[in-house]
């Protein structure tokens, strides 16, 4: 560096250094954990907003979807049979069974009634 003729008194430099060293205390940075929390929470909020928006879109598209009668007409028979044999159907049957008493169930049982 060339001589520039600027005389900086030592006290001035010390004062300046003291002021600059005080900056981190005067402008504390958010701790890493807080930054992490803020980041996580804002990310979660954004994801929730997106999910709600997406849910709203899906709901609207379902409303616009074909009515059940139309679906039946448009779906091939094999698919209709498959859906009737699905787990959902059997679960419904189990739930129905749970609502009946044992006696009512045995009354419904054709094998038992033929024996008796």
Chain residues that interact with other proteins, rule: CB under 8 A: 1-9, 12-13, 16-17, 19-21, 23-24, 27, 29, 32
Q: C-beta of 2: minimal distance to other proteins in Å?
A: 5
Nearer to other proteins, 19 or 112 (CB): 19
Nearer to other proteins, 26 or 98 (CB): 26
Integer CA distances (angstroms), 114 to 79, 88, 102, 108, 110, in order: 36, 31, 17, 11, 6
Integer CA distances (angstroms), 43 to 29, 32, 37, 40, 84, in order: 21, 16, 10, 5, 42
Q: C-beta of 4: minimal distance to other proteins in Å?
A: 5
The residue among 104, 106, 102 whose CA lies nearest residue 115 is 106
Q: C-beta of 17: minimal distance to other proteins in Å?
A: 6
């Amino acid at each position: 560096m060339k001589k520039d003729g600027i005389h900086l008194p030592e006290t001035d430099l010390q004062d300046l250094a003291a002021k600059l060293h005080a900056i981190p205390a005067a402008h504390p940075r958010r701790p890493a954990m807080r930054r992490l929390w803020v980041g996580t929470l804002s990310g979660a909020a954004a994801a929730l907003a997106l999910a709600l928006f997406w849910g709203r879109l899906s709901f609207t598209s379902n409303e616009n979807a074909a009515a059940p009668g139309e679906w039946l007409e448009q779906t091939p028979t094999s698919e209709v049979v498959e859906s009737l044999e699905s787990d959902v159907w059997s679960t419904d049957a189990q739930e129905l069974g749970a609502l009946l008493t044992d006696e009512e169930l045995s009354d419904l049982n054709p094998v038992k009634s033929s024996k008796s």
